[in-house]
Amino acid sequence: MPDKRTALFLVHQKLGAKLIPFGGWTMPVEYSGIAKEHTAVRTAAGLFDVSHMGEFEVTGPQALDLVQYITSNNAARLSDGQAQYSVLPTREGTAMDDLLVYRYSTERFMLVVNAANIEKDFEWIHGQNRFEAQIANVSDDTSLLAVQGPRAADILKPLTSVSLDKLPPYHFTYGPVLGVDATISRTGYTGEDGFELYFPAVRSEMVWNGILASGQSYGLLPAGLGARNTLRLESKLLLYGNDLGETTPLLEAGLGWVVKLDKGDFIGREALAKQKSDGIRNKLVGFEMLGRDIARDHYPVHINGKETGHVTSGSPSITLKKNIGLTYLPAERSEIGTKLEVLVRGRACEAEVVPTPFYKRKNS
């Protein structure tokens, strides 16, 4: 079966993007170069097509009850127009997926899930729906563009009547962008200020081109999945399938902050309570290479010559000019300053556990 394409596939081709398969989709990995696009997001702005992500609408009188039951965070704490990061836990207390939960009202929520998990997640949620809630997969009809970077608000202000300055992080509103009705969310996956726009896929090309035109004088660049990956790693934003998954206890991944055991019954609650009471065996940590070698995804990790796991995410940090990565270490060997070795093509290369996030913007 051929990979799916977003509504902007031909636009990416015209821009000369390098296209790769990703999560069942053909997606742009870079346009002008990963380092150039990464730096644009840190210093000005980048425009990402992330329309491969999945969107589910949950509606009805028991919409909140269903969302509470299938997610680990407490969606009851959300106000209208607020979003939160959460997880779809398995009954074993691991991650079916991570996601964003948007509350439009007490009877309408939107769940944004990872592209490779759309069908799996939809079937899972449908199977857990013992409530009077309706679930609709609106992914194919929805485009998602992300404008990320310190000039993101300046670029979008001329294109909308919505007051972007009054929109706090992890809040959203609904209004026109270039005349197209859109959900405008102050969220992102880069560690920078920015916005994500959800709108009808049929208007994709016009909105994309309008944002590019508005951003030209601010240094906005179209950016691909390559820069998105290096940006999110610097900010220690986890990647499903690498840093967490169905074999990863949520508390070992450092996600205890989105596990609300006191909210009532939800899938995986007993297993997660046991993780908390028993303590974790492993811990996700950040490390920095001490030499010039690059730690790539899946490279083996050793401590004192004994294998402890592998690099879950690794790359050069374009902002910090260092080579960084994430790995799981035994909890008792996870302290800052712990020395480890990453096997680069079979050669043991020294690294050290360091504080995370590796990068944090100054005004965050």
- Residue 166 class from Cβ within 10 Å (0-12 exposed, 13-18 middle, 19+ buried)? exposed
Nearest to 155 by CA among 228, 223, 218: 218
Q: What is the CATH number of domain 4-51+140-234?
A: 3.30.1360.120
- Quick one: pLDDT band at residue 228, thresholds 50, 70, 90? very high
* Phi then psi dihedrals of residue 294, to 5 deg: -105, 130
Mean pLDDT within 66-75: 98
In this model, does residue 81 exceed pLDDT 90?
A: yes
Computed over every residue of the chain, the mean pLDDT equals 97
Specify the pLDDT at position 2: 72
In this model, does residue 262 exceed pLDDT 80?
A: yes
Q: In what order do the strands lie in the sheet with 82-89?
A: 82-89, 95-105, 108-113, 54-59, 134-137
Q: What ranges do the domains of the chain cover?
A: 4-51+140-234, 281-364
Per CATH, 4-51+140-234 and 281-364 having the same topology is answered no
- Quick one: pLDDT band at residue 1, thresholds 50, 70, 90? low
Q: Does CATH number 2.40.30.110 belong to domain 281-364? A: yes
Tokens coding 104: 């439009």
Mean pLDDT within 77-104: 98
**Residue range 294-347, pLDDT digits in tens:** 999 999 999 999 999 999 999 999 999 999 999 999 999 999 999 999 999 999
**Residue range 100-150, pLDDT digits in tens:** 999 999 999 999 999 999 999 999 999 999 999 999 999 999 999 999 999
pTM of the model: 0.96
In this model, does residue 364 exceed pLDDT 70?
A: no
**Residue range 267-287, pLDDT digits in tens:** 999 999 999 999 999 999 999
Q: For the chain, give the percent of residues with pLDDT over 90.
A: 98
**Residue range 180-220, pLDDT digits in tens:** 999 999 999 999 999 999 999 999 999 999 999 999 999 99
Specify the pLDDT at position 159: 98
In this model, does residue 239 exceed pLDDT 70?
A: yes
Q: For the chain, give the percent of residues with pLDDT over 70.
A: 99
Specify the pLDDT at position 214: 98
